[in-house]
């Protein structure tokens, strides 16, 4: 429907010059989490916003810096087997049990969850201003 506002979002992890998307299986998840253990990584979420009638076609993104505690195999294994993070970039969902993996965060928490809410809100306010001036 050309009147609708369409919003798409996706998240990736960037660590050691490597992009980590969603793990394919247990082994991928284990490898991702072991790699992030005790280290700092970057979480990027991109949003695409489209509205045909108002000629809106805009991309925005946000970056959050996340540092993990040193993880042990028992905790990683428990998390993968019980929370099945195969639909999560980097193999973790900060809003789940794996929040205990996080030592510190610099930036938007909701960006790590997968939707940079504050940045989207500011963009949405700009759209509303723009539409009122038409």
Active-site choice (4, 10, 75, 87): 10
Residue whose tokens read 């905790």: 75
pTM: 0.90
Cα(60)–Cα(39) distance, integer angstroms: 27
Q: Kindly indicate the confidence band of residue 40, based on its pLDDT and cuts at 50, 70 and 90.
A: very high
Cα(17)–Cα(89) distance, integer angstroms: 15
Q: Is 10 a catalytic residue?
A: yes
User: Which tens digits make up the pLDDT trace of 59-115?
Assistant: 999 999 999 999 999 999 999 999 999 999 999 999 999 999 999 999 999 999 999
From 21-25, 99-103, 130-134, the region with the lowest mean pLDDT: 130-134
Residue 95: which residues within 8 A CB-CB, separation 6 or more?
Answer: 113
Pick the residue with more confidence: 114 or 134? 114
Residue whose tokens read 């429907």: 1
């Amino acid at each position: 429907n050309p009147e609708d506002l369409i919003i798409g979002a996706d998240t990736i992890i960037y660590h050691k010059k490597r992009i980590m998307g969603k793990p394919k299986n247990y082994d991928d998840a284990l490898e991702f989490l072991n790699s992030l253990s005790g280290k700092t990584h970057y979480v990027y979420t991109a949003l695409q916003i489209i509205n045909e009638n108002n000629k809106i076609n805009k991309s925005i993104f946000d970056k959050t810096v996340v540092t993990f505690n040193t993880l042990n195999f028992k905790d990683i294994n428990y998390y993968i087997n019980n929370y099945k993070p195969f639909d999560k970039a980097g193999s973790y969902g900060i809003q789940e049990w794996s929040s205990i993996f996080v030592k510190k965060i610099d930036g938007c928490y909701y960006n790590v969850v997968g939707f940079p809410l504050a940045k989207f809100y500011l963009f949405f306010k700009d759209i509303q201003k723009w539409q009122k001036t038409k």
